[in-house]
A and B are shown apart, each in its own frame.
Chain A
C-alpha cells in the first residue's frame, strides 16, 4: 500500500496553508487520495502553523502520527515535529535561516535571488518537496499555474530554482492509479451542496471555522447565481435569512457555537413563522470562546435543543465533503418541503480540512416545496393532515401573505385562544412523522469497516474518517448516523444487529452521541474520547482502541 505523509511548518504569515494546499494538489494530480489538516493558532503573525498532507492509494480522511517528509521553514518546526519523522524519512529545511540534519535548501536566498517576497519561501519549499518526491517538473509546473495564479511567472521561477537546488529524489512517489479528483474542504462542499439545492442568499458574520463558506460563496457568487451578504452580527444574519425566506428566497446562515447561540431566537422564529432556513453550525472547542481554530464535537445537544419552544427540525451531520454536499442539499430541500429550520452540524476538522471529492454534481438538485395552487382563499398557515401549508410569496396578485412570530390562526392573525393555540402547535408538530419518513427513506446511517463484526465503533461527523480506517485495519464495524434529528432509530438498530460490544468514538469530553443513542435503547459499552482540540489520528485512535478492546 502506498501511504505518504508530509508535514510543513512555520510561523503564521509564512504561507503554510497555501504550501500545504499546493502539495495536496500535487499529490492528487498524481492520482492519490489526499487528506490535508491545517493546524494554526488564532493569531495573524508568529506562532506555529503546520499542515499535514497525507496521500494514499485508497481513501484517507485522517492523518497519521508519523511523517515521511518534514518541511521546516523555521527551527521551531524542527523542535516540535522532529520526533514524528519516520525512519528513512527526510527533513527539508531553510538552510539560509538555520542548520539542521537533512536536506538544506536556501529557500529565503532563492526567493531573494528571484526577486520575490519573503512569503514566497512557501513556493520554494513546494519546489524542493516535489524534487524530493521525484515528481517531474512539468507536473509541478501545472500545479503552480493552477494553484498560484497570482504572480505566476515569479512563482514558477522560484519553484523551479528550488526544485533544481533540492536533493535528488529520495522518494520515488510515482503515480497512484486513479484519475485526479477535485480537492475540497468541507465548507466548500457545504456551499456547493446548498447552491445546487437552489440557495439564493447566504448571510453570515465571520466566525472560525465557518467563515470559509462565506469567503467561498462571496468569491463564486456570480457563477453560482446567488448573493452573499455579511451583516452586522449573527442576529441580523439569521433574521435577514428569515425575511428572505418569507419573501421566497432560499437562504442559509452559518456560524460556530457563539454565533449560533445568538441565532437561536431566529431559529425559534423560523419554527413559529414556518420559514425554511438552513443553519450551518461548525463546531470548535467550547464553552464560550474556547479554542477558536481547533476542532470539537461538543455542540450536538445544543444543535438538537437550540431555540425555545417545541418544534420539528432537521439536523444532519456529515463526516466528509461528499456527505456534506449531499446532506446540505438534503437539508435545503427538506427545509423547504416541511417549512422548518434545518441544521448542518459539522466541525473544524471537516470544515477546514481538505479531502478528495468524488460526488457528481447531479447528486444534488433543487426540489420544489408545496406551492399554493391559486384555488380558494390563501391562508399562509392552512391546516393540512401533514402540517405543511401551501406556500405563496409577497408580490403575487390576489394573495395576502401574513407571516408571524406570534401564535396565530390559519390566516396569520394573532390568537391567544386556547383551542387555536393547541391546534396550531399540533399543526406544526404534525410535520414530524413526514419528516421522520423522509429520513427513513434515505441512507441515514453509514456503515464502514467489517459490516459483520461484533464489535462496533459508533461515531459521527469527521471523526468517522479515523474510525473508518482503523475499523478496516482492526476488523471492526463502524456505524455513523448521518441524521441526528429525527434520529433514524430503525436504521440504527438494523446497523447494530449482531453487535455485542459498542465503543463510542467522539471528539468531545462526555460522549454526546453515545448518550443520545442510549435514550433509544442502544447501549454503548466503552467510550474513546478526545477533547484537546485535535482530531483523532489513525495511530492514536488505533492505540486507544486496542487498549479498550482488551
Chain B
C-alpha cells in the first residue's frame, strides 16, 4: 500500500451519510494499493460526469477530467486512444450513465475499450434534488413523478452482459473491503470493466436498511459462465423479498478495442512526426 496522500484541498460537499464517501474511500484504497504494487500514479486518469458523484474528480489528487453529463465513456475512450499506457477509471451516476449516456455505455462495452466504469447507483437524482432515474423502482415518488414513477427500472447488469462487457460486477458502499477488491480487479482487468455500486442517497432516497437486509456476497459462482452471470443478474428485480447479490458476476478476456485500433501499440499523444504526403498527392494526379 502506497502512503501517497490522494486528498486535495477541495472542500467535500457531499451530504453527511452519503454513499459516495464509501466509493471515494474504496477507490483511494484501491489506487494506493495498486500504486504500492508498482502502478505509476501519473499513469492514472480519473474521469467523472455531472452530478453528486462527479465531485470525486475534485477529491482525488491525481490526473482527472471532470467531464459532462452522460459522456464519461467517450471521455475515457479518447484518453485511452491518446495514450494506451494510462489506466483510465470513470465514475458516473445512474442518471448520468443509464439515462443521459446509455448509448455510450453500451457501445463502450460492445467495443471492449480497456477502461473501468464505476457507477454510483443511488436510483435518484441527488444534485437536482430528487427525481426518478432509470433504476428507480416503479412507483418512486420523485419530484418529477409526484404520483409515483410509472416506469419499471432498468437492470444495468443485464444490459452490460448483453452488450459484451468483459468484467461485470456489483458492489455496495458499506462493504468497503469487498468494494476495494472489486475495484482493484476491475482496474487490473484488460478490457471494459463495469461495476454498479449500490450507493444510498441519504437525503433523497435512503436505501441503507433495504440493502443491509437484502445484500449478500456471491459465493460458489462461476464468473466465467455467462449464463450463470445472467441468472444472477436477474435475481434482484427490486422486489421486497428479493436477495441482492454483490460481487463479480462475469469476467472473460477478449481482445480490446484500443489494442486493435492502435496499430503496433502506437501511442498517439506525443507522436509528432509530420507525414510525407507526396506519394498520396502523386497518386491523385
Minimum CB distance partner of A240 in chain B: B78
Query: Shortest CB–CB separation between residue A448 and chain B, in angstroms?
Result: 25
Asked if residues A405 and B281 are in contact (CB atoms below 8 Å), the reply is no
Whether the pair B63, A394 counts as a contact (CB closer than 8 A) is yes
Chain B interface residue count, Cβ-Cβ cutoff 8 angstroms: 59
The verdict on A196 contacting B275 (CB below 8 Å), with A28-B285, A405-B50 known, is yes
Is the pair A220, B63 in contact by a Cβ cutoff of 8 Å?
no
In the complex, B230 has a CB within 8 A of chain A: no
Question: Is A225 a contact partner of B271 (Cβ separation < 8 A)?
Answer: yes
Q: Does A75 contact B (CB under 8 A)?
A: no
Contact B282–A366 (Cβ < 8 Å): no
Chain B interface main SS type:
mixed
The complex places the Cα of A242 from the Cα of B57 at a distance, in Å, of: 17
Q: Does A298 contact B (CB under 8 A)?
A: no
A406 within 8 A of B: yes
- Interface check B274, CB cutoff 8 A: yes
On whether the beta carbons of B272 and A243 are closer than 8 Å, the reply is no
B66 and A400 contacting across the interface, CB-CB below 8 Å: no
Q: Is the CB of A225 within 8 A of B273?
A: yes
Q: How large is the interface on A (under 10, 10 to 19, 20 to 34, 35 or more residues)?
A: 35 or more
Whether B81 pairs with A229 at a CB distance below 8 angstroms is: yes
**CA of A305 to CA of B78 in the docked complex: distance in angstroms?**
26
Segment at the interface with B among A49-57, A177-185, A426-434, A473-481: A177-185
Which residues in window 28-68 of B have CB below 8 A to A? 40, 42-45, 47, 50, 55, 57-58, 61-68
**Are A240 and B280 in touch, CB under 8 angstroms?**
no
- Complex CA distance for A412 and B63, rounded to whole angstroms: 10
Asked if A212 CB lies within 8 Å of chain B CBs, one says no
Contact B42 A397 (CB under 8 A): yes
Beta-carbon contact of B66 and A246 below 8 Å:
no
Note all chain B residues with C-beta closer than 8 A to A224: 275, 277, 280
A222 to B65, CA, bound (A): 30
CB interface residues, B 186-242, toward A, < 8 Å: none
B14 CB → nearest A CB, Å: 13
Residues 71-122 of B contacting A (Cβ, < 8 Å): 71, 73-79, 81-83, 85-86, 103-104, 107
Give Cα distance in the complex from A408 to B68, angstroms: 14
- The interface centre, meaning the residue of A192, A240, A241 with most chain B CB atoms within 10 A of its CB, is A240
Q: Is the CB of A246 within 8 A of B284?
A: no
Is A201 a contact of B42 with CB atoms below 8 Å? no
**Bound-complex Cα distance A183 to B74 (A):** 36
Q: A249 within 8 Å of B by Cβ?
A: yes
Indicate whether A273 sits within 8 Å of B65 (C-beta atoms), given known contacts A246-B79, A413-B8. yes
Tell me which residues from 255 to 277 in chain A have a Cβ below 8 Å from any Cβ of chain B: 265-266, 269, 273
In contact, A406 and B66 (Cβ under 8 angstroms): yes
- Are B81 and A240 in contact, CB atoms less than 8 angstroms apart? yes
CA gap between A168 and B61 in the complex, in Å? 79
Would A395 and B86 be within 8 Å (CB), given that A243-B76, A414-B10 are in contact? yes
| Whole-angstrom CA separation of A188 from B62 in the bound complex | 40
Tell me which of B9, B71, B79 contacts A394 (CB under 8 A): B79
**Contact A243 to B75, CB < 8 A, known contacts A229-B81, A232-B104, A414-B55:** yes
A393 to B85, CA, bound (A): 12
Query: What A residues does B50 contact at CB under 8 A?
Result: 405
- For chain A, residues 372 to 427, give those with C-beta under 8 angstroms from any C-beta of chain B: 393-406, 408, 412-414
B16, CB-defined interface residue at 8 Å: no
Whether A119 is near chain B, meaning CB under 8 Å from some CB there, is no
* A455: min CB distance to chain B, Å: 38
Kindly state whether residue A247 has any CB partner on chain B within 8 Å.
yes
Tell me the smallest distance from the CB of B38 to a CB of chain A, in Å.
Answer: 14
11 other A-B residue contacts (CB within 8 Å) besides A236-B104, A245-B82? A182-B285, A200-B271, A201-B81, A220-B280, A226-B275, A231-B107, A357-B284, A361-B281, A394-B42, A395-B269, A412-B66
**15 A-B contact pairs sorted by A residue (CB < 8 Å):** A28-B285, A29-B285, A198-B274, A200-B82, A225-B271, A239-B68, A243-B78, A244-B269, A246-B79, A366-B274, A393-B270, A402-B57, A403-B64, A405-B67, A413-B58
- List chain A positions with a Cβ less than 8 A from chain B: 25, 28-29, 146, 180-184, 188, 192, 195-196, 198, 200-201, 203, 220, 222-227, 229, 231-233, 235-237, 239-249, 251, 265-266, 269, 273, 357, 361, 365-366, 368, 393-406, 408, 412-414
Interface residues of B (CB under 8 A from A): 8-10, 40, 42-45, 47, 50, 55, 57-58, 61-68, 71, 73-79, 81-83, 85-86, 103-104, 107, 261-263, 266, 268-285
